Structures are given as C-alpha cells and as structure tokens.
Amino acid sequence: DVPSGELNAGAYAINNQVQVELDDQLYTDSQQQNVSVNIPFTAGAKSHEWNDGMGELFYTADLNPMAMDLNPQGDKLTVEDTLKFHSGDENNIFLKENTVKLYYADYDQYGNPVFDENGRLKKGDLVPFTEWEMSYEESRKQYNTNEKYRVMNMRVPDGKALVLEYQYKVTMPSTS
C-alpha cells in the first residue's frame, strides 16, 4: 500500500475497492495497480581547478549530498563521470588513477551531512576500497575522431553523502 505523507522512490501496490448497493444487493470489486516511483536526482556539485604549472585538472564532486536512499533494490549506486574533449592526436588527457579518492561526508551530531560556506559537502573519512569500486575507460567516437571521452564508472555506497576527488593529466604539444 502507498504510505501517507512523503512518497519515496520504490515500487508500490495501490489497492482500490468499491462497494455498490443496488436493489438491496451488495456488489463489490477490487483492483490492484502496481506503480514505480522514480525521483529525479542531481548528483550534487562538481567543480574543477586547473594547475597550469603541472598541466593537471583537479576535480571534486559531491555525490548524493542529502544522503538519500536512492536504490530501493540494493545498497550501492552506480555513478558515471564522463569527461568529453576535442583534441588532435598530439593532445591528450588521462586520469591519474592513483588520485581517485572517495570520502564520506562529515556529519553533524544529528546525523545530517555538513556543508561548507559554499554549499559543498565537508570531507570526512576515506571510504575503504572494499566498500566501492571503479573502472576507467578511454574512448573515441567513430564519427568524429577528434571527440574523445574519459569515463569513470563507480559503484558507491547508497544512502550516504560522499565526496569524490580525482585528477586528470593534460598533455599538449609545446608551442615554442
């Protein structure tokens, strides 16, 4: 049955029953409707910083900032992060895989995620590698050889506010 009040993501059975009395005769009927509720979700804030001297992009992303239970069928979320860029063969961007780190957000005494003055999650403890996984792929679209993609796929804990940090190395030909 559908709970009263706030509706959460998940599958629900709605039961309808009707009773009609006609000519001193009582007629009843019932129907069950199964519905799924999907809640639109924004991963949270994502920012980057360029370090020209090192030729590196530093990224930070807030994942599930309200610590919602978004996957009613399990305890993991699938997150995809895609970097798309246009480049010739001499330019390249690659993920520095040893810089990928996932942190739990810091929580207050009431169990709520803590945000900084910019509305970003405050970083807490490092999430152990046994609690999440990541794969990385470099690809190029066939119809446009200058369009390249760097894709990280992750399975991360559900119901937790998380902070993801990582770096890309950018290589470009010398302009001298």
- Per-residue pLDDT tens over the stretch 19-51: 788 888 888 877 777 665 554 445 567 777 888
Whether residue 71 is predicted with pLDDT greater than 50 in this model: the reply is yes
pLDDT in tens, 78-89: 888 888 877 665
- Among 8-12, 45-49, 89-93, which is the least confidently predicted range? 8-12
Distance CA 171, CA 163 (A): 27
Contact indicator for 14, 32 with CB cutoff of 8 Å: yes
Phi, psi torsion values for 130, nearest 5 degrees: -75, -10
pLDDT at 174: 62
Report which of residues 26 and 91 the model is more confident about: 26
Query: Contact 103/162 with Cβ under 8 angstroms?
Result: yes
Which of 26, 19, 59, 27 lies closest to 43, judged by CA? 59
How high is the pLDDT of residue 123?
A: 95
Q: Give ∠ CA 56-130-136 in degrees, rounded to 5.
A: 40
More confident residue, 121 or 44: 121
Least confident of 11-15, 50-54, 57-61, 168-172: 11-15
> Is the pLDDT reported for residue 9 higher than 60?
no
| Signed CA dihedral, 130, 44, 160, 2: sign only | negative
Distance CA 60, CA 101 (A): 10
| Residue with token string 């639109």 | 40
Nearest to 167 by CA among 73, 72, 57: 57
| 67 pLDDT higher than 70 | yes
pLDDT value, residue 26: 82
**Each residue's pLDDT tens digit, 129-159:** 999 999 998 876 655 567 788 889 999 999 9
